[in-house]
Structures are given as structure tokens and as C-alpha cells.
């Protein structure tokens, strides 16, 4: 199954930052399989800022740092510009790292023969099983839910970077997709516990 190929929406570039065109979609049904039940879900963390806003934040913080360093230099502190340069570089590196954390994703591909979970950092599937044997489990209390998929003694958590409302939505979607793919229907429950 080559479902990890290029995403439907490509990345945009702005000032060296990469962002997806649909930044507010965190659970996206990318494609449905035309022959029979099947789907591919792409999970992405929510971004608070666009790429342009992130670049503006980095520039604004750097300018404020250089402004304070310029004032300190006028008062006789000759090391202030060096410190400002190091501080600005540190700010840019940290903000770029934070932005890259938003690039991670999880993909869940499901058809009548297999369910696969892939993560952006792993070339191999984190989980693979036949959908008939996969069980969905939601652990934890209110606000701390964990969505787990398990089969044959193995479990994997999906959507750990989503908010608790989004995890509940994910669990509902997965329950319906599992019921459809395994041929059990909505009457038989795919949840444990």
C-alpha cells in the first residue's frame, strides 16, 4: 500500500518556514478508496500562527533585542551588540524548532484488508493489523483521553498531539471507519473497556 506518497495539499514556503495550506485542519479525511470501504486520515497538530506571523515574531523579537543592545552600547556596554547577536540567533533557532514540531503528522490508512498507522518521523509503519482484529480503546479521564489502537497484544497511541475534543472526534471517526472496513457494522463495538 503506497499511501504515504505525496499529500494532497503541498507545503507553502515563506521566509524559510514550511507550512501546509490547510493549517487549521487537524483531522483530515484525505482520500476514500473507490472500491469498497476504506479511508486515509491525516492528523496534524494545530498551529497557532501562520508562517508569516512566525517570521514577524522572530523579526520583532530580534529588533527589540538589538534596540536594547543599541541603548546599552550608547551607555558604554561594548559587549551588548555581541550578546544581542547571539540572543537573536538563539531566538531564530528556537522558533524554527517550534515551527518544525508543527510539521509532524500521523497517517492512518484503513481498508478491508489492513489498517496502518504511520508517523512522519518513522519510515516504517508504527502499527499494522487486519481491521477485523483491531480494537479501539479510549483511556484516561476527562481532558486526558488517550486513543489507542490494539491488536494481538500490541497497542499504539494515535493523535497524542491533539486536544481532548479532537481526540474524542478522532475516536468517533475511527470507530465508524473500523466498523465499515471490518464488515461488522455499527452494532458490534470496536471499543475495549
Q: Kindly list the domain boundaries of the chain, sorted by start residue.
A: 23-47+102-182, 51-101
Rounded mean pLDDT of the chain? 78
**3-state DSSP assignment of residue 111:** strand
CA 46 centroid distance within chain: 7
CATH C-level class of 23-47+102-182: mainly beta
Is the pLDDT reported for residue 5 higher than 50?
A: no
- Average pLDDT estimate for 118-146: 85
What pLDDT is attached to residue 163? Answer: 85
Phi-psi region of 106 (alpha: psi -120 to 50; beta: other; left: phi over 0): beta
Quote the radius of gyration of the chain (alpha carbons, Å). Answer: 22
Please report which residue ranges of 75-110 form alpha helices under DSSP H.
80-101
Q: What is the pTM of this model?
A: 0.65
Question: Are 115 and 129 within 8 A, CB to CB?
Answer: yes
The three three-digit cell numbers of residue 115, written as one number: 489498517
- Write out pLDDT tens, residues 30-79: 655 555 556 888 888 888 888 889 899 999 999 999 999 999 999 999 99
What pLDDT is attached to residue 191? Answer: 55
What pLDDT is attached to residue 19? Answer: 37
Within the chain, how many helices (H) and strands (E) appear?
3, 10
Amino acid at each position: 500500500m503506497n499511501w504515504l506518497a505525496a499529500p494532497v495539499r503541498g507545503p507553502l514556503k515563506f521566509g524559510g518556514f514550511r507550512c501546509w495550506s490547510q493549517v487549521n485542519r487537524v483531522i483530515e479525511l484525505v482520500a476514500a478508496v473507490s472500491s469498497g470501504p476504506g479511508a486515509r486520515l491525516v492528523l496534524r497538530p494545530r498551529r497557532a500562527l501562520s508562517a508569516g506571523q512566525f517570521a514577524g515574531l522572530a523579526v520583532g523579537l530580534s529588533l527589540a533585542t538589538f534596540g536594547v543592545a543599541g541603548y546599552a552600547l550608547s551607555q558604554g556596554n561594548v559587549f551588548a551588540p555581541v550578546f544581542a547577536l547571539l540572543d537573536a540567533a538563539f531566538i531564530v533557532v528556537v522558533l524554527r524548532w517550534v515551527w518544525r514540531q508543527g510539521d509532524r503528522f500521523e497517517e492512518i490508512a484503513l481498508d478491508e484488508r489492513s489498517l496502518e498507522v504511520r508517523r512522519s518521523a518513522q519510515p516504517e509503519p508504527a502499527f499494522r493489523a487486519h481491521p477485523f482484529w483491531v480494537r479501539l480503546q479510549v483511556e484516561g479521564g476527562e481532558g486526558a483521553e488517550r486513543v489507542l489502537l490494539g491488536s494481538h497484544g500490541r497497542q499504539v497511541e494515535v493523535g497524542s498531539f491533539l486536544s481532548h475534543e479532537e481526540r474524542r472526534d478522532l475516536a468517533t471517526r475511527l470507530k465508524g471507519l473500523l466498523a465499515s472496513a471490518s464488515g461488522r457494522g455499527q452494532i458490534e463495538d470496536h471499543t475495549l473497556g
